[in-house]
């Protein structure tokens, strides 16, 4: 794991690695260490996962860690498209099932139902789950527009009263789904999604944010060097006492 640089941006610890693989492996190692530490004093813990190609190296390494007592972990996830077919490979639940949810024996896996009869009631159901099971570890990414989960700049509120809500996705966010190879063209990308809000994420005791690739360089720069403001949702991480940002040399190119 070749680390190029480590620095602080406010309270946020920023780490830069020489490749996506070394970045993902380092993040997985440190998340596993935190899981083991928390389980020394707890019967179980609650861990939140992001679904995006940026998480591939991290998740692939994490599931191979034989030291993790998965049967003492309740899994949650960040977001999901409203109304996407339950079998669609672009569905975030399906992404996580393929990479972690179906690969290790979690105590429970708690997912948003994209096809709930009442999306608003589904938000309330999932919010209740989060209130009953406060998140210990959040494993997240950052979008090209600086979003965390689907809190795009126009719907990201640092003081949001809700923990889960339905949002409309901005053009840059939807285009990212095409850039990532998840959809063939922007017209195929859903326009609405469920998302955990900014407070739902920042309420987590520990945040591990994994952000590789050149396409994220501007977002990383704005997160680390720009103003802390809702127009750059990820900038809120600089106020969190236990947050780490993992980047590779491409995503960190503007801060090196």
The predicted pLDDT at position 219 comes to 98
The answer to whether the beta carbons of residues 69 and 107 sit under 8 Å apart is no
- Each residue's pLDDT expressed in tens, for the chain with a length of 256 residues: 599 999 999 999 999 999 999 999 999 999 999 999 999 999 999 999 999 999 999 999 999 999 999 999 999 999 999 999 999 999 999 999 999 999 999 999 999 999 999 999 999 999 999 999 999 999 999 999 999 999 999 999 999 999 999 999 999 999 999 999 999 999 999 999 999 999 999 999 999 999 999 999 999 999 999 999 999 999 999 999 999 999 999 999 999 9
Per-residue pLDDT, 1: 59
189 φ, ψ (degrees, to nearest 5): -80, 125
Tokens of 99: 């990479």
Contact present, 155 and 187 (Cβ < 8 Å): no
What pLDDT sits at residue 206?
A: 99
Alpha-carbon Rg for the chain in angstroms? 17
Domains of the chain in sequence order? 27-207+226-239 (3.40.50.1360)
Phi, psi of 120 (to 5 degrees): -65, -40
């Amino acid at each position: 794991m070749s680390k190029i640089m480590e620095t602080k941006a406010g309270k946020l610890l920023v780490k830069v690695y020489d490749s996506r693989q070394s970045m993902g492996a380092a993040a997985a190692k440190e998340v596993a260490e935190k899981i083991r530490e928390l389980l020394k004093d707890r019967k179980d813990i609650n861990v939140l996962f992001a679904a995006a190609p940026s998480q591939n190296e991290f998740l692939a390494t994490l599931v191979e860690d034989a030291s993790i007592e998965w049967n003492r972990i309740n899994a949650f996830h960040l977001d999901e498209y409203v109304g996407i077919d339950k079998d669609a490979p672009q569905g975030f639940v399906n992404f996580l099932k393929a990479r972690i949810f179906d690969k290790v024996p979690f105590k429970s896996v708690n997912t948003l139902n994209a096809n709930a009869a009442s999306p608003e009631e589904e938000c309330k159901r999932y919010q209740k789950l989060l209130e009953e099971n406060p998140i210990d570890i959040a494993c997240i990414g950052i979008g090209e527009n600086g979003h965390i989960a689907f809190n795009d700049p126009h719907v990201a509120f640092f003081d949001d009263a809700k923990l889960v809500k339905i949002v409309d996705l901005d053009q840059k966010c939807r285009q990212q789904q095409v850039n990532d190879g998840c959809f063939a063209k922007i017209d195929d990308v859903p326009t609405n999604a469920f998302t955990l809000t900014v407070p739902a994420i920042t309420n987590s005791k520990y945040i591990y944010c994994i952000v590789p690739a050149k396409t994220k360089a501007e977002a990383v720069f704005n997160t680390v060097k720009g103003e802390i403001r809702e127009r750059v949702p990820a900038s809120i991480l600089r106020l969190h006492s236990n947050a780490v940002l993992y980047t590779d040399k491409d995503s960190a190119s503007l801060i090196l």
